[in-house]
């Protein structure tokens, strides 16, 4: 059993939360085309529709609660966000290799910008109880990604 964080949060809670968030996104298995990325965005919005825009992002919620008071939790949550970004980074790298993404594009920065849009969209979706808030954020993120198309 993994140790408890100083405030009593088990490290396994963070791992389980990250697994649940990633597991709810089967499209993460292959994000190496524009169509796959667009489909993933659609799936994320549909998840919020299905959940009636309740709950926001479980990883983001934990980060908001723990990142400033528990260094171990902050580091584990940062690693969880990295795990979420990784499939998009890899997909974008593959698109670069396939000539679909400009050589000068930075898959790391693009993946981080996309995840930031997702997080902001989820917060707005949660507080406004409107999945279209995530749709707006993802449309902007997708347009930004496409601006780097080869």
Model confidence pLDDT, tens digit, residues 16-67: 999 999 999 999 999 999 999 999 999 999 999 999 999 999 999 999 999 9
- Residue 130 in any domain: the answer is yes
Q: How many separate domains does the chain show?
A: 1
- Residue 5 in any domain: the answer is no
pLDDT average, residue stretch 64-89: 95
Say if CB 129 and CB 52 are below 8 A apart. yes
- Residue 105 in any domain: the answer is yes
pLDDT of residue 10: 74
CATH number at residue 60: 1.10.357.10
pLDDT average, residue stretch 85-89: 98
- Residue 60 in any domain: the answer is yes
Task: Look at residue 12 and tell me whether its pLDDT is greater than 80.
Answer: yes
- Residue 6 in any domain: the answer is no
* Structural domain span for residue 31: 11-146
Nearest-10 Cα torsion for 45, 38, 26, 103? -140
pLDDT of residue 11: 84
- Residue 62 in any domain: the answer is yes
Say if CB 88 and CB 144 are below 8 A apart. no
- Residue 52 in any domain: the answer is yes
- Residue 80 in any domain: the answer is yes
pLDDT average, residue stretch 10-21: 92
Residue 101 β-bridge partners: 149
Express as a percent the part of the chain with pLDDT over 70: 94
């Amino acid at each position: 059993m993994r140790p408890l964080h100083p405030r009593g949060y088990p490290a396994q809670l963070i791992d389980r939360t990250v697994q649940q968030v990633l597991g709810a996104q089967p499209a993460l298995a292959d994000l190496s085309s524009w169509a796959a990325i667009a489909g993933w965005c659609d799936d994320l919005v549909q998840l919020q529709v299905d959940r009636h825009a309740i709950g926001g992002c479980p990883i983001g919620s934990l980060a908001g609660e723990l990142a400033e008071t528990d260094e171990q939790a902050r580091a584990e949550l940062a690693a969880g966000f990295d795990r979420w970004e990784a499939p998009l980074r890899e997909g974008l790298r593959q698109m670069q290799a396939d000539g679909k993404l400009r050589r000068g594009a930075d898959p790391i920065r693009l993946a981080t910008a996309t995840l930031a849009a997702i997080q902001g969209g989820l917060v707005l979706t949660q507080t406004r109880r409107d999945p279209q808030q995530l749709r707006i954020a993802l449309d902007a993120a997708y347009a930004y990604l496409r601006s780097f198309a080869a």
